[in-house]
A and B are shown apart, each in its own frame.
Chain A
Amino acid sequence: GIQVEQSPPDLILQEGANSTLRCNFSDSVNNLQWFHQNPWGQLINLFYIPSGTKQNGRLSATTVATERYSLLYISSSQTTDSGVYFCAARPHGSGNTGKLIFGQGTTLQVKP
């Protein structure tokens, strides 16, 4: 099955710094989502981005489906950005189920 790999696994930033999180996937995908998992465990939707670029405030994401990767950019980081970021892909040809395959996550810590 498809493999989803995220890098780096851990990231420590000073408040105000910018960062780029990467998600590589081993096969074609029909959709890709980025999530932020809050300290209570809930997955918060950041982007639904099968291809192209989207921006939402200080966050933006780019997916290059033909090259099998997606990037999440965080600019001017704040302490509230801390947490675990997951990308999840819906494999192409996975039938009609729409299930997601998750990466292992990037744990981000933003220091004041």
Chain B
Amino acid sequence: DTGVSQDPRHKITKRGQNVTFRCDPISEHNRLYWYRQTLGQGPEFLTYFQNEAQLEKSRLLSDRFSAERPKGSFSTLEIQRTEQGDSAMYLCASKGDSYTEAFFGQGTRLTVV
């Protein structure tokens, strides 16, 4: 069991650039979640996939954010025209069904300069 894997671990980008993060969930998990964590805060829910279907999006997910899970396996989170306020840790989690525990990846720490 390789756990939830995220890539890259760290990303520094200039304001206005686009960035893309990848998440590989635990292989048998059909539910995948993205969260964002800013300094000193708990993680906040961004979006949820069941298999390839994106079933819920938080109001935190502005139009500059898009997430995909094309084949129901890995997922990508893209941020267009990054802003300094996008600097945060982006966490991915997966679970097998609604009533089981969620497992998190190592996160991608984004710094926008």
Residue among A45, A97, A103, A105 facing the most chain B CB atoms (10 A cut-off) = A97
Task: In the complex, identify which listed stretch (A13-21, A36-44, A58-66, A69-77) lies at the interface while the others stay far away.
Answer: A36-44
Task: Give the residues in chain A near B56, CB-CB below 8 Å.
Answer: 95, 97, 99
Residue pairs across A and B with Cβ atoms less than 8 A apart, 8 shown, are: A30-B99, A42-B104, A96-B50, A96-B98, A98-B31, A102-B42, A104-B42, A105-B41
Task: Give the residues in chain B near A45, CB-CB below 8 Å.
Answer: 101, 103-104
A14 to B: closest C-beta gap in Å? 25
Task: Give the residues in chain A near B95, CB-CB below 8 Å.
Answer: 98
Task: Give the residues in chain B near A96, CB-CB below 8 Å.
Answer: 50, 98
Residue of B nearest to A42 (CB): B106
Residue of A nearest to B97 (CB): A98
Q: How many chain-B residues does the 8 Å CB contact rule pick out?
A: 30
Binding site for B on A (CB under 8 A): 4, 30-31, 33, 35, 40-43, 45, 48, 86, 88, 90, 95-105
Residue among A31, A33, A98, A100 facing the most chain B CB atoms (10 A cut-off) = A98
Map CB proximity to A onto B75-113 as digits: 1 under 8 Å, 0 otherwise.
000000000000001010101011111111111010000
B105 touches A101 (CB 8 A): no
Give the CA-CA distance A42 to B95 in the complex, in Å: 16
